[in-house]
Structures are given as C-alpha cells and as structure tokens.
Amino acid sequence: MTINAAMILAAGLGTRMRPITDTRPKPLVEVAGKPLIAYGLEALGGLGVTRIVCNVHYLAPMMVDWLKAWPEADIAISDETDALLDSGGGIVKALPLLGGEPFLILNADTFWLEEPGARDDNLATLTRQFDPHVMDILVMTARPDQATGHTGAGDFMIDADGRLARYRGTGEPVIYAGVLVLHPRVFASITEPRFSLNRCFDSAIEAGRLYGAPMRGHWLTVGTPEAIGEAETAMREYLDGQPS
C-alpha cells in the first residue's frame, strides 16, 4: 500500500556513544561523513514520503536546528524535552502529526545499504507488502550474517507465511532492523503515557498479526564510538564486494 507518513525515533540519550554524545545528540553522530539520521531521511525521500515527524529530547535545540535545515522535507517536531516517553509512548504523542492511517517508523541510529541492482529498495518493498487486513505491524528483518554492529543473538523467528514470534534460543533468528510499518490501532487499548514498542510487538504476536519482511543488502547499527569505524569498514567491504 502507499504510505505517506513516517516517524523517526531520535529522542534517546545515546549514553553508550559517550564521550561523542556529550556535545551532540546520537542521531547527528557521523558515519562515513554523514549523520546517522540522514540515512533514514534519504531513504524516506526516495520513497516519496511527504509527512515526516521526528521526536527530540536530548540536546533538543541542536536536533531541531539540524532538522529544520534538512533541504528535502519539512520535518515536524514532536517535543519530548519534558520527559522521555520510550519508543511506544513517543509514537503515541506524535499521532496527531501522523494521522490515522498506517505509517513508517525508523530508528535514527540504524541504517542499511541497498543491494545493487535490486528492483525495489527496501522501504518500497516493505510498504508494498504491508496488508492492513491481516497485519498490525510489518517489521523489516535482517539475518545476523547481513548485519554489522548487532551484539545479540536475534530478536524474532519468522515462519513460512512471514509471521514473527519471539526468538527463544533455538532455530534461525532474525534481527529487527529498526524499520517497520504500523497501523495506529495497535495503541487503542494502551493508556500509559510511557511504554516500549515491545509491548505492541507482543500483542501483535498474540493476535497473529506481527509479520516480517526480510531485507536485501547490508544492515548496520552504531551503538558505541568504536562501532563507527567498524561500520565504515563494513560499508567499504560490502560495496567493494559488489559486482561492477
């Protein structure tokens, strides 16, 4: 389906990225000469998303100034400077800016390299596959072997129909790649102002309405200062290894 709205989650404190984040918010930490958040914004621009919301908290004025200067979109700000609301609560606070139709959610500190020659990029594939009749959430997933910077075993298991279940230590796991399409009805029964998006994952799993869309290319997450160099090396190696 066509998705016209997206939110980028960018309000975190970035404590593991210190001392770099002593003076700049984590989404503005540069990898390969580009702020982390720019990778997601460029992907949204390529999809033609017209409504983008970004939440801010830590060093909020710096984030707001940078977002206002972004040349390719007019980005709305969801201000969480008074209190962090966690991933789920932050989205609910921004719902008036996002509308009542399904929308994209992107983490500000993860990004991916597209597979050269692919017919569609990953966001186009994800939005095309989202079916609100059978899905509440469609998550972009990555295999551990196509990821750099991920330190856990995995997040989910995916079955032959694409449904996701929590990974429990056996079988072949997949990673939540920091991107999803979500129908706002998943928040209908939640009244707390602060909660994790994991709560919505679990309720969608219970209803059989959490699905995964395997990505193509290479996925990167950057959580520490040391991970910057690791990510840049992985980017060079991935691109150098592609057919010319």
Tens of pLDDT, residue by residue over 199-226, are 999 999 999 999 999 999 999 999 899 9
Average pLDDT of the residues in 1-28: 92
Which tokens sit at 202? 């679990």
Q: Tell me the pLDDT band of 244, cut-offs 50, 70 and 90.
A: very low
List the CATH code of the domain at 5-240: 3.90.550.10
| All residues at 6 or more sequence positions from 119 whose CB lies less than 8 Å from its CB, including other chains | none
| All residues at 6 or more sequence positions from 104 whose CB lies less than 8 Å from its CB, including other chains | 3, 5, 6, 7, 44, 49, 123, 126, 127, 179, 180, 181, 182
From 170, 140, 138, 147, select the one nearest 157 (Cα to Cα).
170
Tell me what pLDDT residue 242 has: 64
Q: What is the CB neighbour count within 10 angstroms for residue 117?
A: 8
Is residue 1 pLDDT above 80, yes or no?
no
What pLDDT digit, counting tens, does each position of 180-199 carry?
999 999 999 899 999 999 99
pTM of the model: 0.92
Higher pLDDT, 116 or 23: 23
Q: DSSP of 134-176, one letter per residue? A: T-SEEEEEE-GGGEES--SS-SEEE-TTSBEEE--SSS--BEE
Partnered with residue 78 across adjacent β-strands are 55
Q: What is the CB neighbour count within 10 angstroms for residue 160?
A: 5
Which tokens sit at 135? 């899905």
Which tokens sit at 208? 């059989």
Q: For the chain, give the number of residues.
A: 244
Q: Tell me the pLDDT band of 72, cut-offs 50, 70 and 90.
A: confident
Q: Please name the residue ranges forming H helices in the chain.
A: 36-47, 60-68, 86-98, 122-129, 198-206, 225-240
